Amino acid sequence: MDFFFRPKSIVVIGASLNPQKLGHQVLKNIIEGGFKGKLYACNIDPSVKKVLGVKNYPSVLDIPESPDLAIFVIPAQAVPSVLEECGKKKIKGAIIISAGFKEIGPEGEKLENELIKISKFYSIRILGPNCLGLIDSISRLNASFAPSFPKKGNIAVISQSGAVCTAILDWAQVAEVGFSRFISLGNKADVTEIDLLEFLEKDKATELIIAYLESIGNKVDDGRKFIEIAKKLSLKKPLIVVKAGKTEKGAKAIATHTGALAGSQKAIDAAFLKSGVIKADSLEELFVLAKSFSKIPLPEKKEVLVITNAGGPGVMATDALEAANLPLAKLEKGNLEILKKNLPKAASLKNPVDLIGDAKADRYELALKVGLKDKNTGAILLILTPQTATEIEKTAEVISEKLKTKNEKRKAKNEKPIFPIFIGGEKVKKGIRILEKAGIPVFGFPEKAVNVLKKFIEYRNWKEKIKKAPQPVSIEIEKYGKENVAAWIKEERLKNVFHLGDQIADEILRTYKIPVLKSRLVQSATEAIAASRELTFPVVLKISSPDIIHKSDVGGVKVDLKNEEEVKRAFNEIIKNVKRKKPKARINGIVVYPMAKKGIEFVIGVKRDPLFGPLIMFGFGGIWIEVFKDVSFRLAPLTPEDAKEMISEIKAYKLIKGVRGQPPLDEKAIIDTILKVCKLIQDQPEIEELDINPLLVYEKGVLALDNRILIKK
Amino acid sequence: MDFFFRPKSIVVIGASLNPQKLGHQVLKNIIEGGFKGKLYACNIDPSVKKVLGVKNYPSVLDIPESPDLAIFVIPAQAVPSVLEECGKKKIKGAIIISAGFKEIGPEGEKLENELIKISKFYSIRILGPNCLGLIDSISRLNASFAPSFPKKGNIAVISQSGAVCTAILDWAQVAEVGFSRFISLGNKADVTEIDLLEFLEKDKATELIIAYLESIGNKVDDGRKFIEIAKKLSLKKPLIVVKAGKTEKGAKAIATHTGALAGSQKAIDAAFLKSGVIKADSLEELFVLAKSFSKIPLPEKKEVLVITNAGGPGVMATDALEAANLPLAKLEKGNLEILKKNLPKAASLKNPVDLIGDAKADRYELALKVGLKDKNTGAILLILTPQTATEIEKTAEVISEKLKTKNEKRKAKNEKPIFPIFIGGEKVKKGIRILEKAGIPVFGFPEKAVNVLKKFIEYRNWKEKIKKAPQPVSIEIEKYGKENVAAWIKEERLKNVFHLGDQIADEILRTYKIPVLKSRLVQSATEAIAASRELTFPVVLKISSPDIIHKSDVGGVKVDLKNEEEVKRAFNEIIKNVKRKKPKARINGIVVYPMAKKGIEFVIGVKRDPLFGPLIMFGFGGIWIEVFKDVSFRLAPLTPEDAKEMISEIKAYKLIKGVRGQPPLDEKAIIDTILKVCKLIQDQPEIEELDINPLLVYEKGVLALDNRILIKK
């Protein structure tokens, strides 16, 4: 990627004499930005000798050397042929700013496909098309049509929307943040955020990456790749992503519950969780988090000290902390003594420490000093309201003095994070400016600071979890189980059966040592009675048909049959019901099961996400799944820790731990089953979806009662 | 209250010659604020003839007339005696700015109680103590120590925190909002927000009230009063409240589930819901809502048109709308045609209307014009990102031109609300300023605007609901039922029994025509068998003891007893268990019930909130209540519409409507039962808490299976 960020030579294709044209602006930006390398203009008009003092070549083929980078600012139709010339010229990278490709419809898509072909054939990497370009504050390259060069800083920006790029640049001017590299992705015909993350992971100038994405990568494999590189990167530096297009209309036809609930957004959330990506829910949150992660050190512990000059906002901060599950720090005894000795009698020493309304800068200084050295305090919220006696500017100076070095350096030294919260408007403005100038972000409201702190803690926890390399898990299955199951699936498919229920699904799970019920497939009431005797009463009868997914809906299930008479009647009724309601369904017969012991109903499911692979779901099952949607998701592969997390995330976890004197359920067996399902789905690429609902969970053990598997068509 | 807001004459008690003293500042503020009435100073030093040109009287008793209002800025200890003099002088109101009362502890509380006594004796109303004072922009009275006089406007402010007062004043200076009346409540010794709301309801200068509250009123009755006046007011003008102190530690010992879940915050939420109060969750939200409700007209319908010059932010707006349950408008055909004819080919006409990146002001003008006249559109989100071609200022001008008159007037005419969303920082600043100057609030991010719109719609819906006067409901109960139940409760209480379970609770519910099981109290196994025969097998045996709340926990319940032998064994086991685990419990005997028909378990409960009265809970019951906390709350009295709302709010409502082919449950019977419980709790003031858990709900009918009632000690 070096030829994009540190090219030795550049040609601007479409360099124009007309200052109104983008081709002029881009060249001008490169020159004015301070690019140090060789620069060539390429304008097809042979009468043009120079553009902005740069020598013009009507064709790239005429240029005496092979430039590292070509920047395209010509009409879309002309791009492919010139790109081909660039390929021939062995140019390494192209930034295609020109629009008129995939984004305008099928016609443009065709054009874009040509670019992709040329790119592959000549090994020329493409950024764009339809992008704003690229800005590099380190190498002083402004290869974009953004007129302003952002301040140099430690944040790299990747954006899939040009408009968001311009908004971020505009925001940066007031937010006192600077950028290392700034990349507009455009249509992602070739280069995607994955390539860029790979580059930025090693980039010393970048300490934090923020990204606006509408999709992940540009091909099927990219989901996995994204996770891999994002994880590697997140261990070194934070990656904050806002992903647009969050809400999803529920799928219409549901074959499995997992299919209905495991939308692509769940997969993305799971991917972010797996790879330590910090998710921002809006552009606003992205901005706040970007600034905070770039400037504030991460806390070593989550206990928070609140310092305030007013009770009300102190209460609001406490509310926000409690909602975010962040505890208030208990100050060390000695530190409490210092506060007691030096603060007025009316001050409240119990965290939140209320310096009361007439607090001048000295009280803030004292409390801050105490908080910074207090061993029980992980982070400090410092609230100021503009009261009559309040020394706003002086307090701001005290804070920035107390933090001595800029936050950036404190960050490097991992010092305690301080969140100044200045509530108001006109009067607090000057204090805010002093702090922001000193590199200390100021918050307008307690809730905002608490949200940042929460993300800090989550990121820190993720890193710690990942650093503890988990024990490898080995899941034992039946001998030749993998091969057998693959063979059975193949067989079913040959029969044009893609929905495996009942015995075959049970058999597959059994092969992976997941407990299922014994069963018998029978063709007559007499056979049903014999089977019932063998399996012992009471029994359940279910229709077996590849064409009937929801058996109860067609009267295809009869439960708790206690004797031969009941079994006989049930058999006949089921046949009658099904023939009436689904006359065309293929019928294998009726399956006889013993009644399962009562247990609590959970669900384990899998849906293969097209981008990220198997997405595994655990939750509260039975019909409750549709009512409460109390489920959690993770992407395969899973560690036992992941499985444990999935279980403890759902509300019904209380049931597993034992509620109201009821005994706890077998959590270990659930973890085990989740891991087995995970192995199954990884072993068997032909399985698309899988539903164990209910998975009955007991004080000891589990039972996969009702199972269905969808295989690829 | 007129003497507070429009006094004809004022005396400042503690008027000081020293400019550093609050007593000086307050007098100065009154003079400089432009107060038109008579003004007196009161400084005990007889050598002082005038303060700031105002004639001094060492005692209020010396003043030649009775001033309407006295403002106290003297040490706390001196306040009571001077207040008494004010009483004698027949002064009507006192603003006590002085601090040093309840807020400093028991000593100050004593002093404050003196004030209250004097206030009652002399009928002198007190605002404060420990407050910032009061500012009235209409009568030009600045009776506070806030140095800046806020702009005149249509918002009244009530704040229980002086610091929040100063923050609001400071915010107002940058936010282009103005205030009608501005009141700092202080300790609420006498005047509370309830008095003020009563005044503001009729106040023509006030179109909107915002309040920061830490408590409601200052005495037991005030919860009900607050609801009454807030409701009356909300029908006329919006009341936005931020209530600090939201989170609550769960109660430790739970006698009823309702008691555990129905915290005071739930009661406040229910009170706001009942009275149409718009709840802000943070100061930030309060600020945004205040500005929006004061300046933007309410929508007539909830369909939203999104206009944007960039796809990404358009998607984010759509996400936010979907999450808020606000639909995108389908433009009228003719209007779509206009857009199609006039916008470039690449523009997207499907809502969000994407004007694309090179949109200048004219495209915004066109789209806005179309949106304003479109009959399917209720509100417009207008997104601008600062791209190269974007005419930020011109677009801002076009918008304010299109809205022609100031939003305040559009508001009066109930025109369509427009939410300009300018995303960025430095460049968009000027555009934002143009709009804000024209009285049009601008949002920085789509999510912010959508949240406001959501609150608009909720407020509008509430008003519509209230305006439709509901049919009065008459609940029939047993003859003399009210008197009988009151008598039984009295009797139990004489026996020192405060926890009524089993038969007595059942009997009370039966009296209110709520279906309960028949039962028999028995003293021996033989009696138990006879009762079982009478009630028909299978039966349930339960210990009956006023000292055992959780019967299962002590082995005091045996279910599904199918024959005499089982009943006998169960009887003896229960007695044995209870004697072992609760040897000191008073035992009435054992109650025999028939087994109830299986049904879905819900819960109805009541907790009498000390402030707001009976808080009624409905939810998903059984043990699930602790797991999912899937419950809703309303304050009594209830209309059938309220009950219906309660039911439809919980997630398990899906079960009631019938999930996965299961038949729907008897919603009408649930509504009926909720209303009966409501009548019961209103009839019987001695009942503190009530729990019907589970309330079994069937396809037809309900059954209150396990009931407990706590009465006042």
Which pLDDT tens digit goes with each residue over B588-646? 999 999 999 999 999 999 999 988 999 999 999 988 888 999 999 999 999 999 999 99
The confidence band for A146, taking pLDDT boundaries of 50, 70 and 90, is: confident
Q: Which residue of A has its CA nearest to B356?
A: A163
A336 CB burial (10 A radius; 0-12, 13-18, 19+)? middle
What pLDDT score does A189 carry?
Answer: 95
What pLDDT score does B519 carry?
Answer: 94
Asked if residue A253 has pLDDT above 50, the reply is: no
pLDDT in tens, B646-704: 999 999 999 999 887 789 999 999 999 999 999 999 999 999 999 999 999 999 999 99
pLDDT in tens, A73-95: 999 999 999 999 999 999 999 99
Of B25, B170, B655, which is closest to A424 when you measure between CB atoms?
B170
ipTM for the complex shown = 0.88
Candidates B279, B319, B357, B353; CA nearest to B445 is: B319
Are B164 and A247 within 8 A, CB to CB?
Answer: no
CB A603 within 8 Å of CB A618: yes
Of A174, A323, A385, which is closest to B247 when you measure between CB atoms?
A323
Mean pLDDT, rounded, for B418-447: 93
Q: Which two tokens stand for residue A38?
A: 């060789």
The confidence band for B490, taking pLDDT boundaries of 50, 70 and 90, is: very high
pLDDT in tens, B127-169: 999 999 999 999 999 999 887 789 999 999 999 988 899 999 9
A628 touches chain B (CB under 8 A): yes
Mean pLDDT, rounded, for A587-609: 94
Asked if residue B459 has pLDDT above 60, the reply is: yes
Q: How far is B152 from chain A (nearest CA, A)?
A: 17
Q: Which residue of A has its CA nearest to B243?
A: A316
- SS3 for B419? strand
Asked if residue B414 has pLDDT above 70, the reply is: no
Q: Which residue did the predictor score with more confidence, A348 or A566?
A: A566
Asked if residue B330 has pLDDT above 60, the reply is: yes
Work out the mean pLDDT of chain A and round it to a whole number.
92
What pLDDT score does A651 carry?
Answer: 95
Mean pLDDT, rounded, for B493-506: 89
| Contacts A315 to B, Cβ<8 Å | 214, 244-245
- DSSP-assigned letters across all residues of B53-75: TEEB-SSGGGSSS--SEEEE-S-
What pLDDT score does B258 carry?
Answer: 63
Q: Which residue of A has its CA nearest to B168?
A: A424
CB B547 within 8 Å of CB B586: yes
Are B310 and A160 within 8 A, CB to CB?
Answer: no
| Other CB atoms within 10 Å distance of the CB of residue B362 | 14
What pLDDT score does B260 carry?
Answer: 64
- Radius of gyration of chain A from its Cα atoms, rounded to whole angstroms: 32
Mean pLDDT, rounded, for A514-525: 96
Asked if residue B408 has pLDDT above 60, the reply is: no
Question: Which sign does the torsion angle of CA A621, A625, A631, A635 carry?
Answer: positive
How many A/B residue pairs have CB atoms within 8 Å? 211
The confidence band for A473, taking pLDDT boundaries of 50, 70 and 90, is: confident
Q: Which residue of B has its CA nearest to A310?
A: B163
Chain B window 308-367: which residues touch A at a Cβ cutoff of 8 Å?
309-313, 315-316, 318-320, 322-323, 346, 357
Chain A window 495-524: which residues touch B at a Cβ cutoff of 8 Å?
none
CB B704 within 8 Å of CB B596: no
B161 touches chain A (CB under 8 A): yes
A46 touches chain B (CB under 8 A): no
CA atoms within 13 A on the CB side of B643: 22
pLDDT in tens, A430-449: 999 999 988 899 999 999 99
| Contacts B313 to A, Cβ<8 Å | 161, 163-164, 167, 283
| Contacts A175 to B, Cβ<8 Å | 425
B559 touches chain A (CB under 8 A): no
What pLDDT score does A67 carry?
Answer: 96
The confidence band for B406, taking pLDDT boundaries of 50, 70 and 90, is: low
Comparing A311-325, B403-417, B679-693, which segment has the lowest mean pLDDT?
B403-417
Cα–Cα distance for residue pair A678/A692, rounded to 1 Å: 13
What pLDDT score does A512 carry?
Answer: 97
Are B246 and A387 within 8 A, CB to CB?
Answer: no
Q: What angle do CA B360, B366, B372 make, to 5 degrees?
A: 135
User: pTM for the complete prediction?
Assistant: 0.91
Of B425, B628, B660, which is closest to A173 when you measure between CB atoms?
B425
Instruction: Give buried/exposed letters for A23-41 (b at 16+ CB in 10 A, else e).
Output: bbbbbbbbeebebeebbbb
The dihedral formed by the CA atoms of A122, A128, A133 and A137, expressed in degrees to the nearest 10:
-70
Q: Which long-range contacts (CB under 8 A, 24 or more apart) does A346-352 make?
A: A346/B103, A346/B104, A348/A311, A351/A305, A351/A306, A352/A306, A352/A307, A352/A308, A352/A314, A352/A315, A352/A317, A352/A318, A352/A328, A352/A383
**Cis amide bond preceding A129, omega within 30:** yes
| A52 phi-psi bin (left φ>0, alpha ψ -120 to 50, beta other) | left
Of B244, B316, B357, which is closest to A315 when you measure between CB atoms?
B244
**Three-class secondary structure assignment of A31-63:** HHHCCCCEEEEECCCCCCCEECCEEECCCHHHC
What pLDDT score does B224 carry?
Answer: 92
- SS3 for B497? coil
Comparing A250-254, B243-247, B473-477, B644-648, which segment has the lowest mean pLDDT?
A250-254
B20 touches chain A (CB under 8 A): no
Q: At what angle do helices A162-175 and A283-295 cross, to 10 degrees?
A: 50
Cα–Cα distance for residue pair A587/A573, rounded to 1 Å: 15
CB B54 within 8 Å of CB B41: yes
What pLDDT score does A162 carry?
Answer: 87
B388 touches chain A (CB under 8 A): yes
Asked if residue A348 has pLDDT above 60, the reply is: yes
| Contacts A625 to B, Cβ<8 Å | none
Candidates A397, A402, A393; CA nearest to A430 is: A393
Q: Which two tokens stand for residue A538?
A: 């009471």
Are A244 and B425 within 8 A, CB to CB?
Answer: no
Query: What residue type is B154 in one-letter code?
Result: N
Are B627 and A283 within 8 A, CB to CB?
Answer: no
A389 touches chain B (CB under 8 A): no
Among B104, B130, B161, most A C-beta atoms within 10 A, so best to mutate, is B161
| Other CB atoms within 10 Å distance of the CB of residue A284 | 20
Mean pLDDT, rounded, for A46-59: 96
Q: How far is A10 from chain B (nearest CA, A)?
A: 23
Query: What residue type is B269 in one-letter code?
Result: D
pLDDT in tens, B22-53: 999 999 999 999 999 999 999 999 999 999 99
Asked if residue A681 has pLDDT above 50, the reply is: yes
Candidates A403, A423, A487; CA nearest to A711 is: A487
What pLDDT score does B407 carry?
Answer: 55
What pLDDT score does B411 carry?
Answer: 59
Comparing A64-68, A660-664, B148-152, which segment has the lowest mean pLDDT?
A660-664
pLDDT in tens, B160-198: 988 899 999 999 988 889 999 999 999 999 999 999 999
A204 touches chain B (CB under 8 A): no
Among B659, B660, B691, B706, most A C-beta atoms within 10 A, so best to mutate, is B660
Are B283 and A173 within 8 A, CB to CB?
Answer: no
Among A25, A288, A628, most B C-beta atoms within 10 A, so best to mutate, is A628
Are B311 and A163 within 8 A, CB to CB?
Answer: yes
Are A312 and B164 within 8 A, CB to CB?
Answer: yes
A257 touches chain B (CB under 8 A): no
| Contacts A310 to B, Cβ<8 Å | 161-164
Mean pLDDT, rounded, for B209-233: 93
Work out the mean pLDDT of chain B and round it to a whole number.
92
Among A161, A268, A651, A665, most B C-beta atoms within 10 A, so best to mutate, is A161
Q: What is the share, in percent, of chain A residues with pLDDT greater than 70?
A: 96
Mean pLDDT, rounded, for A211-229: 92
What pLDDT score does B253 carry?
Answer: 44
Are B244 and A651 within 8 A, CB to CB?
Answer: no
Chain A window 650-709: which residues touch B at a Cβ cutoff of 8 Å?
651-652, 654-655, 659-662
| Contacts A171 to B, Cβ<8 Å | 424-426
Q: Which residue of A has its CA nearest to B383?
A: A163
Mean pLDDT, rounded, for A605-621: 94
Phi first, then psi: give them for residue A679, nearest 5 degrees: -65, -45
